[in-house]
Chain A
Amino acid sequence: MDMGEKDKFELDNKNEDAMNYSPGMSSDWRFDGSNLTNTSMGFVTAGNSMAIGKGDVIGSSACSSASMVDSFVPTMWDHPSNPQNLGFCDMNVQNNASTLNALGIRKGSPASLRTGIDRTLDMCWNQSGPMLKGAMFLPNMPGMLPQSLSQLPTDSAFIERAARFSCFNGGNFSDTVNPFAIPESMSLYSRGGGMMQGVQDVLAGSGLKPVLSGVHSQKGELNVSEASKDASLTVEHGASEGSPLKNERSENLAKSHDEAKQFVGGSGNESDEAEFSNGAGGGQEEPSMIEGAGGEPSAKVHSSKKRKRNGQDSDPDQAKGASQQHGESTKDNTEQHQKGDQNPSTTNNKTTAKHGKQGSQGSDPPKEEYIHVRARRGQATNSHSLAERVRREKISERMKFLQDLVPGCSKVTGKAVMLDEIINYVQSLQRQVEFLSMKLATVNPRLDFNIEGLLAKDMLQSRVGSSSSLAFSPDMPMPYPTLQPPQQGLIQAGLSGMGGSSDVLRRAISSQLMPLAGGYKEPSQLPNVWEDELNNVVQMSFGTRTPPNSQDVDGSLPTGQMKVEL
């Protein structure tokens, strides 16, 4: 397909890389980036990579990625308008490309070149001299890359070889893994290059191809990072093996849209899985490697995967540390995502500064949709947005509760309609209260007589319903001394008798209503008895003397109730 072109491009890339490397020290700018932005971050990452004793390659790659991150961070935030940003971006990309190339070279010459290259590369990495790398790359590149590319079609055998290699070489495992991963990525890019190019048209534009030969790798990376789906598709096309991991990857990316934090955790886990799969089978390695390759360049999440992988290769503790770092640097993740978004733009237009600014600030510059989504995704990791999400969940929960409460609101969907329903219901209830109060006011004169009965009824209901008879029993004996007339006492008794059945009550009742006393003696009995009694009582109060009785009741009962209130 595009292999020839790929080769050319990559060769060009190498040249460019070499050029880039020869003038600029990768370590230098790396540290510059760290200095510019977060020194702590840069140092931490550096320390991590350093700490990983085994995988020097990995460490270096991690360093590069970390440096990428750092450099991105400064470009993003501190000096968006500086020309250094351009340099950083380009340098980073190129650096990645170079590392990839180096790895690819390493992988590309499996039999003969591997050992030598490994040595050389190890040497390079041990010395941690990017210059040496570049020097190494420069001579090796032209010869190496075509080999790797030519070997790409024979991926399966190669992968198996690499897998064996990785499995058998404990010390070099990480080393093997990384180069392995990178050539995979290379193959991915080479394969997906054609695929990506189609995507690139959508993403960046046709102008990218000629301008940036190295962009192929970059694009591939960027595409992987940015257009996850596209990347997954390309991955699928490129590597027909290990579909589950791809799926995971796609899932990862899908998740990432929703929640970046969880995404980080998930990515870590899945990366672990990928690692395990790496250890287990060679066939599954491809996608995982692809993941790693994709993760290397732009997206920090991917870099996190890488780091985690490194950590796992070396120590689980280190992996934890890496994960912690990631947790700490979720913001940076977001920034990196944005960076990843920016990268294509930077590479495309070479007006990196502006785009860097725009992307870094997270403001909504006139960009493509996916960039928009990306920025949001990045923002999802923000503590503010997290709190916002929690709040929204709370609100929706309350809304659900309200929905259950308001009749006819359960079928309604949509917040606005639901709120409307709730408002209407509240309004109707308030209107009902008003209406009922008006109604009660209109029947006011009769209210005088019936209040006691109503009270009794309500109390009775409460008694019968809730059996909370003790609530009023202690308070009731208090008002009795004040109640001289037996009728009033009767009413009181009728009211209080439900609860208490005290001797005072009985006496008061017995004075007037002897036959009903039996009912009071056994207050826990039938409600019908009480009702009869109450009816009688109420009727008594009705029948005998309504006007004075009402007055008396007014005078006497409130006191009792007041005491009850107390």
Chain B
Amino acid sequence: MKSYPNLGLSASNDNNSRLSTSTTKAKFALRFIRSLKEMKKRGHVSNNSSADERSQRIKAAAYSSMAHAVGPRRAWARALLFKLQRSAKRHRVLTNMTRKRNRSCLVLRQKKNKKKKKGIKKKKSVTNGNDDVLLNQTDKLRGLVPGGKSMDICSLFEETAHYIKCLATQVKVMQDIADQLSPK
């Protein structure tokens, strides 16, 4: 609680200079906390659920809140939301089945996906020295940035820049929250 006024003061001090970042950060925090609340309200995060599941859910909440905060203007946000929705749908469908089956299916699908990705990458990779390295790296980056697989390099870099910004903000928000939650 002691860090609290400091934060406020610091925010008020460089009011103008940090206006945009602080607003984005606040937006992110708001979204994230809201999504956490929603999660709790729905009873997804209960005491009987494992920590792993909870962390997964929180992570999904973090990403989705981030994407929501950014809005659909950004390709990565769109892709992220789509991915999350799809996974959520799948999850919902799967929750109707037994949990064991559910997990095995998930694992299987993940494995399949991984295999597919690997195959694509191998096909794409062109042996050309330096270009090869760059291609590999851009492929890696495509894998990291949501929706990056269908982007050209130019927009990939642009989206990556924005994505990095948002991720950093999100990390900061989560860090703050974790600091607040952690025993003082």
Type the 1/0 row for A95-139, where 1 means its CB is closer than 8 Å to any CB of B.
000000000000000000000000000000000000000000000
Q: Is the CB of A429 within 8 A of B164?
A: yes
Which B residues, 1 to 35, have Cβ-Cβ distances below 8 Å to chain A?
A: 1, 4-5, 7-9, 11-12, 15, 18-19, 22-23, 25-27, 29-30, 33-34
Surface stretch bound by B, among A202-210, A290-298, A326-334, A446-454: A446-454
**A458 part of interface (Cβ distance < 8 Å):** yes
**B120 part of interface (Cβ distance < 8 Å):** no
Q: Is the CB of A402 within 8 A of B174?
A: no
Q: Is the CB of A434 within 8 A of B55?
A: yes
Q: How many residues of B contact A (CB 8 A)?
A: 69
Q: Is the CB of B19 within 8 A of A427?
A: no
B42 and chain A: residue at smallest CB distance: A558
Q: Is the CB of B58 within 8 A of A437?
A: yes
The complex places the Cα of A415 from the Cα of B134 at a distance, in Å, of 8
Type the 1/0 row for A458-472, where 1 means its CB is closer than 8 Å to any CB of B.
111110111110000
**B167 contacts which of A426, A454, A464 (Cβ < 8 Å)?**
A426
**B107 part of interface (Cβ distance < 8 Å):** no
Q: Is the CB of B144 within 8 A of A466?
A: no
Which A residues, 339 to 375, have Cβ-Cβ distances below 8 Å to chain B?
A: none
**A401 contacts which of B1, B9, B161 (Cβ < 8 Å)?**
B161
Taking CB atoms, residues of chain A closer than 8 Å to B171 are 429, 432-433, 436
Which B residues, 125 to 184, have Cβ-Cβ distances below 8 Å to chain A?
A: 130, 133-134, 137-138, 140-141, 144-145, 153-154, 157-158, 160-161, 163-165, 167-168, 170-171, 173-178, 180-182
Q: Is the CB of A433 within 8 A of B36?
A: no
Q: Is the CB of B167 within 8 A of A462?
A: no
With A423-B140, A451-B37 known as contacts, the answer to whether A528 contacts B26 (CB < 8 A) is: no
Q: Is the CB of A461 within 8 A of B177?
A: no
With A430-B167, A433-B174 known as contacts, the answer to whether A462 contacts B37 (CB < 8 A) is: no
Q: Is the CB of B23 within 8 A of A457?
A: no
**Chain B interface secondary structure, helix, strand, loop or mixed?**
helix
Taking CB atoms, residues of chain A closer than 8 Å to B29 are 454-455, 458, 461-462
A532 and chain B: residue at smallest CB distance: B5
The complex places the Cα of A401 from the Cα of B158 at a distance, in Å, of 8
**A444 contacts which of B37, B54, B61, B165 (Cβ < 8 Å)?**
B54
Q: Is the CB of B178 within 8 A of A440?
A: yes
State the Cβ distance, A453 to closest chain B Cβ, in Å.
7
Taking CB atoms, residues of chain A closer than 8 Å to B30 are 455, 458-459, 462
Q: Is the CB of B8 within 8 A of A461?
A: yes
Q: How many residues of A contact B (CB 8 A)?
A: 64
Q: Is the CB of A461 within 8 A of B51?
A: no
**A445 part of interface (Cβ distance < 8 Å):** yes
Q: Is the CB of A464 within 8 A of B137?
A: no
A431 and chain B: residue at smallest CB distance: B171
The complex places the Cα of A446 from the Cα of B177 at a distance, in Å, of 12
Give me 6 A-to-B residue pairs in the complex whose CB atoms sit less than 8 angstroms apart, sorted by A's number.
A433-B171, A441-B52, A443-B182, A450-B180, A457-B7, A558-B34
Known: A555-B41, A561-B34. 13 other contacts (CB 8 A): A391-B154, A395-B153, A399-B157, A401-B161, A402-B161, A405-B161, A441-B57, A447-B40, A454-B176, A457-B7, A527-B5, A527-B9, A527-B12
List the interface of chain B (C-beta within 8 A of A).
Answer: 1, 4-5, 7-9, 11-12, 15, 18-19, 22-23, 25-27, 29-30, 33-34, 36-38, 40-41, 45, 47, 51-52, 54-59, 61-63, 130, 133-134, 137-138, 140-141, 144-145, 153-154, 157-158, 160-161, 163-165, 167-168, 170-171, 173-178, 180-182
